A and B are shown apart, each in its own frame.
Chain A
Amino acid sequence: VVQPPHDVRPLLRAAAPRARLLDSVAQLAGYDADGLGYKTFPPDLVVIPSDAEELASVVRVLHEAGVPICLRGAGTSLAGGPVAAQGGAIIHTSRLRAIREINTAGLWCELECGVTLSSLDEALKSSGLHYPPDPSSGPVCTIGGNVASNAGGAHCFRYGVTGNYVLGVEVVMLDGTLRRFGGPAGGRGPWREDWKRFMVGSEGTLGAFTRFWLRLTPRPEKAWTFRATFPDLPSTERAIHGLVRSPSYPVAIEMMDPASVSMVEKSPMAVGLPQDHFLLVVEIDGPAALVDARVESVAAILREAGSNDVQFSDDPVMRAGLFKARKAQGGLLGQVSPDFLVQDAVIPKRALAEVLALVYEEAEKAGLSAVTVMHAGDGNLHPNFLFDSRRPGDLEKVEAISARLMERVVAVGGTLSGEHGIGNDKSGYVGLVFGPDSMRMQKAVPRVFDRASQFNPLKVFPERRFAA
């Protein structure tokens, strides 16, 4: 039995006097969904603590009162992560946004969980350093959400995902105590085991993050952006395979399928691309002397694979133009369709044709549109199925397609998620990936820290239901 959260309001006010409590219908409406707007899970209460100390007090009160606890940053997840799937309280971390230290000598920074990626990037500019992970929600998403979902982005082919940069995590455990795993040095600290490995990508199920220590790298001196169109999938694949094996080491290899290109070209963001072509956007970066020497070899790979339209530039304005179609794609989805479901599969790159064929076939059979983009270097495929959740049967259709897609993805050697996490959107598919013993090992992890599944219940594994 879960306690009605309104009972805890006086306790929360006493324990965290500077925190904001939201409980009116209008206030809660902004918290009932993440980026997957068609699935709503209204919370009973939202708490916005003013600092880490209050956050810890809030967790302690909610724990003792038997209320489900869901942590939320900017709410840009695309997997049903920061939503109150079992009701209860959402703790919104928007006021924990201090960048506490940028240590240029040690190449690390310390910051609170509510800091946005764009504000971190701005703060780092004068230091000559940068933090490379770049999910497309970068202007608004928070580092807390990034760590919780182990976010990636276009440039992760070369630079790696969030987890490659997390040196340390401070976590409020279920009983309200603070624990620190790692720190500026990025090791285990006083612990024998490396518990922070479990924290990264844990989707709010193990504890409440308050601050992080992140590794920084020198900002690249120069970058070149390439844009090439391809008449068919085989030529696109030849280019991708050539690029990933190239010693020119592209930092990003982004693919758009013709439906995706067409969507952009029919919008005010059109850039004049042939609508029946595949598109690759490629970037290289590094010291000027090195990247300037690599330009021709990258262009040659694209041309030899079959592109007769390869454009490239090192001019920042031109580069933004070459990347424009890819950047516009995500924002346009919400404009061209009432709803969309995005998948996040990672596949062996050889299986691209087989998996794309399934996407197109299934979408056509269901009478729906599918537009696909891919972080092609990593094999991280994002098919977006466009539908209208108000039309009876549409949601069921896309969910049935998703199930068949995930079965195929796993059958070809891939996995369910590369950078979005599992949330409650993909939790039904985890049985495809883990055998009986490895499933037991997986489920043991949250049970160590939160046996009753009070933190973010019904996420990652559908059986993680909280019973007070």
Chain B
Amino acid sequence: VKVTALDHERLFEPFLDEVDGVLSIVSEATAAEVARLAEPHSLRFPLWLDPTQSLRANLAAGDHAPASSRFGPFCDNITGMNWELPDGRMVRVGERVVKSTTGYDLLRFLLGSGDRFGRARDYVLRLRPLCDRDGAFLLAGPERALEQAVAEILHGSFLHWLDSVDWMAGKDQAPQLRVGVHCPAAEWPVFADYLASLAAKHALNIYEMPGSELVADGLPDLALKTTPDQVIPLCRDLATRGEIRCTGLCYPGVVHVHLRNAADPAAAVAEIVHRTATRLEQAGGDWISRHAVRPAGNDEEGRWVQDLVAEWEAAA
């Protein structure tokens, strides 16, 4: 059976579909603009972004954000995009529906590729229901007890329903655990009780912090990807060595490194990468930094990239 093939690119126009919970918006929009469009429909983009930066800048700083614990990396919260190739041609990548196995997954490949194959002009964001309670619980106390509490959360049934489980550490600063919660007001006491009993069990102090008082982490200078059980050791190792603040996204297995007063961020990143990259890569992990570009892995990867680019550059 013959069908008529498209003779043009079906680019995404701006739209918001409140039933499917998808929003098409320019990549230079900020989190505040997304919220302004989504909130009247009782929807939200669930990942915690740096509100002062564009969506594209947030994505360039790492694959994950706080709340990736519950909702996955950026690429699981973007269903499609308009992509500008280096020569200026625009192509549609992905869909406006939330699930697709049509063709090869260019969406996730390109979202993780920085600006090496072009750049995103518009995203189709997957939104989630907006609830009336938003905030975090901070747990603090002896480091070993805090670590045991994290292990208990990661292996417990509440994990799916906690926006984030973040290990916060820095030089000369006792670590804290930040547990993000976003839920209907009626369910808040269920989370509060669970975390209070966890804190009591491990002799930890617990503080409740409303969403309005939460301070954004800011864009990470370096994002390191490892396994969930290596997040805290990695944070500990990094935080004791330099002028660094670390946010460990415990379930995704990601450490966001924020440099403090680094005169040369690229050099500071290079130094951390030099110390950690081999260990990370052996476990299938990696690193991303807005201050440095990873070199191609080897000659073979160089050839694959060259072939891809050559095909993509050819006239359609």
Shortest beta-carbon distance from A361 to chain B in Å = 18
Cβ–Cβ contact A201 & B101, under 8 A:
yes
Interface string of A158-198 (1 = CB under 8 A from B): 10110110011000000000001011111111111111011
A308 within 8 Å of B by Cβ? no
Name B129's contact: one of A246, A379, A407 (CB within 8 Å): A246
* B76 smallest CB distance to A (angstroms): 6
- B5 proximity list for chain A (CB < 8 A): 431-432, 439
Distance (whole angstroms) from the CB of B239 to the closest CB of chain A:
20
Closest CB of chain A to B162's CB: distance in Å?
10
Q: Whole-angstrom distance between the alpha carbons of A246 and B19 in the complex? A: 11
For residue A294, which residues in chain B have a CB less than 8 angstroms away from its CB? 187
A400 to B154 Cα, complex, angstroms: 50
Q: Is the CB of B97 within 8 A of A106?
A: no
- Whether the Cβ atoms of A436 and B316 lie closer than 8 Å is yes
Q: Which of A245, A380, A414 contacts B21 (CB 8 A)?
A: A245
- CB-based contact B6/A419 at 8 Å: no
* B99 contacts the other chain (CB 8 A): yes
Bound together, the chains give a CA A439 to CA B20 distance in angstroms of 26
Query: In the complex, which of the residues B3, B116, B307 has the most CB atoms of chain A within 10 Å of its own CB atom?
Result: B3
State whether B97 touches A348 (Cβ < 8 A). Answer: yes
How far does the alpha carbon of A221 sit from the alpha carbon of B160 in the complex, in Å?
11
Interface centre among A149, A350, A378, A435 (most CB of B within 10 A): A435
Q: Which of B19, B109, B161 contacts A198 (CB 8 A)?
A: B109
Q: Which of A33-41, A113-121, A282-290 makes up part of the contact surface?
A: A282-290
Q: Which residue of A lies closest to B129 (CB)?
A: A247
Identify which of B17, B284, B308 contacts A444 (C-beta below 8 A): B308
Stretch at the interface among A83-91, A212-220, A335-343: A212-220
Are the CB atoms of B298 and A190 closer together than 8 Å? yes
Contact yes or no, A183 B19, CB < 8 A:
no
B186 at the binding interface (Cβ < 8 Å): yes
- CB nearest to A242 among chain B residues: B19
User: Which residues from chain B contact A414 at a C-beta distance below 8 Å?
Assistant: 95, 97
- Complex: A402 Cα to B102 Cα, angstroms: 16
B1, A186: Cβ atoms under 8 Å? no
- In the complex, what's the smallest C-beta–C-beta distance from B235 to chain A, in angstroms? 15
Pick from B101, B187, B298: contact of A417, CB under 8 Å? B101
Stretch at the interface among A51-59, A227-235, A420-428: A420-428
The interface bits of chain B over 226-248 (1 if a CB of A lies within 8 angstroms of the residue's CB, else 0) are 11111000000000000000000
Bitwise, A391-432 to B at CB < 8 A (1) or not (0) is 000000001101100110000011111111110000011111
The chain A residue with its CB closest to the CB of B94 is A415
Q: Which residues of A contact B157 (CB under 8 A)?
A: 218-222, 286-287
Main secondary structure of the interface of B (DSSP, over half): loop
Q: Judge if B148 is at the interface, Cβ distance under 8 Å.
A: no
Q: Is the CB of B21 within 8 A of A194?
A: no
B133, chain A: closest CB distance, angstroms: 10
A407 is contacted by which of B3, B297, B316 (Cβ under 8 Å)?
B3
Give complex CA distance A314, B180 in Å: 28
Interface residues on chain B, size class: 35 or more
8 Å CB interface, B290-316 against A: 294-298, 301, 304-305, 307-308, 311-312, 314, 316
A437 interfacial contact with B, CB 8 Å? yes
A374 vs B129: C-alpha distance in the bound complex, in angstroms? 22
A438 contacts B by Cβ under 8 Å: yes
Closest to B253 in A: A185
Judged by a CB distance under 8 angstroms, whether A108 is at the interface is yes
Task: Kindly list chain B residues whose C-beta atoms are within 8 Å of the C-beta of A219.
Answer: 157
| A419 to B103 alpha-carbon distance, docked (Å) | 11
Residue of A nearest to B314 (CB): A440
Report how far A152 CA is from B100 CA in the complex, Å: 10
Neighbouring B residues of A106 by C-beta, 8 Å: 227-230, 253
Asked if A208 lies at the interface with its beta carbon under 8 angstroms from chain B, I say no
* Complex CA distance for A294 and B2, rounded to whole angstroms: 49
- Pair B89/A437 contact, Cβ less than 8 Å: yes
In angstroms, Cα B129 to Cα A399, docked, is 39
Knowing A187-B285, A193-B305, A430-B102, say if A437 contacts B1 (CB, 8 Å). no
Does A267 belong to the interface (CB within 8 Å)? no
The answer to whether A444 touches B285, judged by C-beta atoms less than 8 angstroms apart, is: no
Are B1 and A445 interface neighbours, CB within 8 A? no
Smallest CB separation, B254 vs chain A (Å): 9
Determine if B19 and A245 form an interchain contact, defined as CB atoms under 8 angstroms apart. Answer: yes
Q: B286 at the A/B interface (Cβ < 8 Å)?
A: yes
Q: Of B4, B18, B186, which one neighbours A293 at CB under 8 angstroms?
A: B186
B283 CB-CB contact with A under 8 Å: yes
Q: Nearest Cβ in chain B — how far from A26, in angstroms?
A: 34
Per CB-CB distance, the 9 closest pairs between chain A and chain B, nearest first, are A183-B284, A431-B5, A444-B311, A185-B285, A187-B286, A435-B9, A187-B225, A436-B316, A221-B157
Listed in ascending order, the chain B residues whose CB lies under 8 Å from chain A are: 1-10, 17-21, 42-43, 72, 75-76, 85, 89, 91-93, 95-106, 108-109, 112-113, 116, 129, 131, 151, 154-161, 183-184, 186-187, 190, 193-194, 225-230, 251, 253, 280-286, 294-298, 301, 304-305, 307-308, 311-312, 314, 316
Sample of 26 A–B contacts (CB below 8 Å):
A105-B151, A149-B101, A160-B72, A161-B99, A183-B282, A185-B227, A185-B286, A187-B280, A195-B109, A197-B105, A197-B109, A201-B105, A217-B160, A218-B159, A286-B157, A346-B95, A379-B98, A422-B101, A434-B103, A435-B7, A438-B91, A438-B106, A441-B311, A443-B311, A444-B312, A448-B311
